[in-house]
Amino acid sequence: MNKIRYQKSQAVKDLERQALDHFHREYPNFPEYAIPPQSYRDNTANGLTKCIVDYIRYNGGQAERINTTGMPEQRGGRIVWRKSNTMKGSADISATIAGRSVKIEVKIGLDRQSEAQRRYQATVERAGGLYLIAKDFTSFIEWYSKTFNRA
């Protein structure tokens, strides 16, 4: 079985450069040799989520990952799974970009929206918010540039 080797897209490489530029602006007196390298990947759900959240933040928006999974909890010597307090179907990322409410659902590979996620999308759009299903970082950047007229 041959695994396909991950190759970073130009968009991910550009994000790494942007992260370094951001670090320089935030910490101008930090010695160059000690700057921690920032590495990104968009081939996993966690990696793509990190790319999107950081890109939005570096470009003047507000973004946060929403934890929709529950929490393990110990009860009477055994561990049970406690449900999350988030709304069923909530998107993975909640953001505000240029004054607009944006919800982003991250889907990698064959992953598809659940019925609860489709209902959540409908409520966001009815309220005037934007909703995006992100499958890779390059297409997210294209959507972002087109939607917010930014390069």
What pLDDT is recorded for position 85?
A: 65
Residue 4 lies in a domain: no
CATH number at residue 99: 3.40.1350.10
pLDDT tens for 99-137 read: 999 999 999 999 999 999 999 999 999 999 999 999 999
Residue 84 lies in a domain: yes
Mean pLDDT for the chain overall: 91
Amino acid at residue number 148: F
Domain count for the chain: 1
Residue 33 lies in a domain: yes
Residue 5 lies in a domain: no
- Comparing CA positions, the residue from 106, 91, 92 lying closest to residue 136 is 106
- pTM value? 0.86
Alpha-carbon distances of 51 from 39, 40, 87, 138, rounded to whole Å: 10, 6, 24, 10
pLDDT tens for 66-82 read: 987 667 788 888 888 77
Q: Between these two residues, 58 and 82, which has the higher pLDDT value?
A: 58
Residue 3 lies in a domain: no
Joined together, the tokens standing for residue 6 give 């991950």
Portion of the chain with pLDDT greater than 70, in percent: 95
What pLDDT is recorded for position 131?
A: 98
What pLDDT is recorded for position 151?
A: 56
User: Residue 71 belongs to what H/E stretch?
Assistant: strand 71-75
| Cα distance between residue 113 and residue 107, in whole Å | 8
